[in-house]
């Protein structure tokens, strides 16, 4: 166990919360155990994940990002609260950008390119509803691992969720990390028990995040037709969280695929922690927009962390 103190910042995006670490030189030994202890909501700081700012040049994955985009100076090293590594975190990218601004590592104007294990992501500040400061992130290409057959059938997996009587068909969506999306009625969404991990068949080789969605139809917002969905999520490596950015992209793109030709490109996704906006871009990529908030800074006593 590392000893001494560690400076941390706490932030969240629609209440998907993270412990943020400034390790720009890559000096910290961020073990799975340290991640679990920091993320512990009782004996630690508490969070759905831990995010480390590290210079791209100091990690092998960061070197790959730099080859794709030489300006991707900073790498988002994302860990789930159980210590596992995930390829991407959509809410985390926005919070990471806000943290870089806070650290004086990004001026906040123009476009910020940053490295992730799912590839380079680009962030810019945008205006959210009622003038709120939001961040928009290009999330790369989303794909249906089940291919055209899954698109035609509308599903390629089955999911059993505690609290729901029957096994449901579901669609796998890759957003750099794995997702499985199933549609429910409103009352079913409230009745689902996500304190237990949903059972997915076929068993995904690297696990999956599971999104339960209720399509809410279309509405006009600022003269534009947008789709709306309600979503709850069980995150791989975490459990139920109050929001998931990559999950919101997966949910919106699944509902859009189910709706067929003519479905809106812009979707509002209501999660327990707020609302994010997902836009299908013409090149097969998606954009995620939403808030990012830093709420606290603290000095952690590493000798006291994890003490039972």
Ligand X SMILES: N[C@@H](CCC[C@H](N)C(=O)O)C(=O)O
Residues that bind ligand X (CB under 6 A): 16, 49, 80, 86, 89-92, 177, 209, 235-238, 244-247
Cβ atoms 159, 180 nearer than 8 A: yes
User: Does 122 belong to an annotated binding site?
Assistant: no
| Tokens found for residue 170 | 């579901």
In the chain, at which residue ranges do the beta strands (DSSP E only) sit? Answer: 5-13, 16-22, 49-55, 74-80, 112-116, 119-127, 133-141, 157-160, 168-174, 178-183, 199-201, 209-221, 224-235, 239-241, 266-271, 274-280, 285-290, 293-301
Q: Does residue 116 have a known ligand-binding role?
A: no
Active site residues: 89, 244
Closest distance of CB 139 from ligand X, Å: 9
Alpha helices in 69-120, H assignment, sequence order: 90-103
Half-sphere exposure (CA, 13 Å, Cβ side) for 77?
Answer: 27
Instruction: Report whether 230 belongs to an annotated binding site.
Output: no
Is 245 annotated as a binding-site member? yes
| Contact status, residue 46 vs residue 39, Cβ threshold 8 Å | yes
Closest CB to ligand X among residues 191, 239: 239
Nearer to ligand X, 94 or 168 (CB): 94
- Considering only CA atoms, which of 305, 230, 308 is closest in space to residue 50? 305
Q: Which residue has the tokens 């003490």?
A: 307
As measured in angstroms, the least distance from the Cβ of 172 to ligand X is 13
Q: How far is CA 230 from each of CA 161, 195, 243, rounded to the nearest angstrom?
A: 17, 19, 11
Minimum Å distance from CB 44 to ligand X?
18
Is 4 a known ligand-binding residue?
Answer: no
Nearer CB in complex with ligand X: 72/173: 173
16 marked as part of a ligand binding site: yes
**Can you tell me the distance from the alpha carbon of 17 to that of 51, in angstroms, rounded to the nearest whole number?**
10
Nearest approach in angstroms of CB 131 to ligand X is: 24
**How many Å from the N-terminal Cα to the C-terminal Cα in the chain?**
14
Q: Closest approach of Cβ 303 to ligand X, in Å?
A: 29
- Closer residue to ligand X (CB): 57 or 232: 232
Q: Which CB atom, from 7 or from 173, has the smaller least distance to ligand X? A: 173
State the binding site for substrate. Answer: 16, 80, 90-91, 177, 209, 235-236, 245-246
State the binding site. Answer: 16, 80, 90-91, 177, 209, 235-236, 245-246
């Amino acid at each position: 166990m590392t000893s001494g103190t560690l400076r941390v910042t706490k932030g969240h995006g629609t209440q998907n919360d993270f412990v943020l670490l400034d390790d720009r030189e890559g000096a910290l030994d961020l073990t799975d155990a340290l991640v679990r202890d920091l993320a512990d909501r009782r004996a630690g700081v508490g969070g759905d994940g831990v995010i480390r700012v590290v210079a791209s040049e100091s990690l092998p994955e960061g070197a790959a990002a730099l080859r794709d985009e030489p300006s991707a100076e900073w790498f988002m090293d994302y860990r789930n609260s159980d210590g596992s590594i995930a390829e991407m975190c959509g809410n985390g990218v926005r919070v990471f950008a806000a943290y870089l601004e806070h650290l004086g590592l990004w001026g906040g104007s123009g476009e910020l390119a940053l490295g992730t294990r799912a590839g380079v992501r680009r962030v810019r500040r945008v205006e959210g509803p009622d003038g709120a400061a939001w961040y928009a992130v290009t999330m790369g290409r989303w794909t249906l691992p089940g291919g055209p057959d899954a698109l035609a059938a509308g599903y390629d997996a089955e999911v059993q969720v505690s609290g729901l009587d029957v096994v449901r068909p579901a669609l796998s969506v890759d957003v750099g990390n794995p997702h499985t999306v199933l549609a429910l009625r409103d009352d079913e969404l409230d009745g689902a028990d996500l304190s237990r991990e949903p059972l997915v068949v076929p068993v995904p080789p690297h696990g999956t995040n599971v999104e339960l969605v209720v399509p809410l139809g279309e509405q006009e917002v600022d003269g534009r037709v947008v789709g709306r969905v309600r979503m709850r999520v069980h995150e791989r490596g975490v459990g139920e969280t109050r929001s998931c950015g990559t999950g919101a992209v997966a949910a919106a793109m699944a509902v859009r695929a189910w709706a067929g030709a003519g479905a809106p490109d812009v979707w509002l996704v209501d999660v327990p922690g707020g609302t994010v906006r997902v836009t299908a871009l013409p090149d097969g990529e998606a954009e995620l927009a939403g808030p990012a908030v830093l709420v606290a800074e603290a000095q952690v006593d590493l000798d006291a962390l994890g003490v039972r």
